[in-house]
């Protein structure tokens, strides 16, 4: 009983960070079982993300997939006393005649939400775009599996560069004839977490009382926090510039601090968990609003991160952007060419194959 209370308290604690309007109280309106598949579950993000999903009362079945290590990850997680069952799958061996990846099929069959953190991490000096050639192929292959084995699942992309990997996923699903713009999103929640944390620390506030809307994309200058909309804060021009740039390049701060040993894995896992749990609540009938990188008509970029209302069908509504401050408008004009170029790079990757 003590252990079960501890698990419940841990879940309560990790939910305490508000996410750009996300509804944090849960009152389930349905008892439908929910299966979450984590692709890349043995990696630096995948393992803590899988742990947090295992702790979540929203998850009934957790399937872990990676090229190595997932049976051990799943066995380890299975000892945690929560209601969800846990399985771990590896790619099936090469065989003749050739067949599909039975391990991936096992992980994806019946999945309601697929979270993809798979790929190589950033190292010092690397940008998210430097990761493109490796991670683009990984995302393409995994989303091809989603198209085959769980075409109606909500797909949440964490693999960087998100500004390009989300368009890659969309083009793969289009080729397979199963694309639904309501069921694909890039996870930008970490940008919101960072903005909330940096504001709270600088202003002497409790992070749970801060909710920063972050728009644009998920790489460098394409990340645009709208600090002008946060009540009760007071920044000089110099402080505003500093906290904006820190939010945009928060990942570099972690990469440098880890000195080549990895990138932002724990905070990204937390952000991915928050996003996933909110999606599960929405699929069960709750109205949830959170920032996400989705197909959008808010700007002339095909995909854009902004507050999105999620419901039973996935993306239900992309909320109006509203007025930007002169400072934010200047950043917006700077970022848009980069954002559109990164999106096009993802589209071209699939179309030219």
Q: Which residues are catalytic?
A: 218
Neighbours of 165 (CB within 10 A): 30
DSSP-based three-state secondary structure for 309: strand
Neighbours of 127 (CB within 10 A): 15
In contact, 247 and 218? CB cutoff 8 Å: no
Cis preceding-peptide flag for 26 (omega within 30 of 0):
no
**What is the pairing mode between strands 35-39 and 113-116?**
parallel
Would the CA dihedral through 115, 301, 215, 133 be positive or negative?
A: positive
Neighbours of 227 (CB within 10 A): 22
Q: Residue 66, CB half-sphere, CA atoms under 13 Å: how many? A: 22
Measured in degrees and rounded to the nearest 5, phi and psi for residue 306 equal -170, 175
Cis preceding-peptide flag for 264 (omega within 30 of 0):
no
């Amino acid at each position: 009983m003590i252990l079960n209370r501890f698990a419940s308290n841990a879940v309560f604690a990790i939910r305490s960070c508000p996410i750009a309007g996300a509804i944090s109280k849960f009152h389930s309106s349905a008892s439908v079982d929910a299966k979450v598949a984590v692709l890349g579950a043995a990696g630096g993000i995948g393992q803590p993300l899988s742990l947090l999903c295992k702790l979540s009362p929203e998850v009934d079945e957790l399937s872990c997939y990676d090229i190595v290590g997932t049976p051990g990850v799943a066995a380890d997680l299975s000892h945690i006393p929560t209601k969800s069952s846990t399985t771990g799958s590896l790619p099936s061996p090469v065989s003749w005649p050739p067949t599909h990846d039975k391990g991936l099929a096992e992980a994806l069959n019946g999945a309601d939400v697929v979270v993809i953190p798979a790929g190589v991490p950033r190292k010092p000096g690397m940008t998210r775009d430097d990761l493109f050639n490796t991670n683009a192929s990984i995302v393409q292959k995994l989303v091809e599996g989603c198209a085959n084995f769980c075409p109606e699942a909500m797909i949440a992309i964490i693999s960087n560069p998100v500004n390009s990997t989300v368009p890659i996923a969309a083009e793969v699903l289009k080729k397979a004839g199963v694309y639904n713009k309501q069921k694909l999103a890039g996870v930008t929640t970490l940008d919101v977490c960072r903005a909330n944390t940096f504001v709270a620390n600088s202003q002497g506030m409790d992070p749970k009382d801060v909710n920063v809307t972050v728009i644009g994309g998920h790489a460098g200058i394409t990340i645009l926090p709208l600090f002008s909309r946060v009540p009760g804060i007071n920044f000089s021009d110099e402080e505003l510039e500093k906290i904006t740039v820190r939010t945009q390049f928060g990942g570099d701060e972690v990469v440098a601090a880890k000195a080549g040993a990895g990138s932002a894995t724990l905070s990204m896992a937390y952000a991915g968990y928050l996003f996933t749990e909110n999606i599960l609540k929405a699929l069960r009938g709750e109205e949830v609003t959170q920032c996400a990188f989705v197909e959008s008509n808010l700007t002339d970029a095909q995909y854009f991160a902004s507050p999105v209302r999620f419901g039973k069908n996935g993306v239900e509504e992309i909320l109006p952007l509203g007025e930007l401050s002169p400072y934010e408008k200047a950043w917006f004009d700077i970022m848009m060419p980069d954002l559109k170029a990164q999106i096009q790079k993802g589209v071209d990757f699939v179309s030219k194959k």
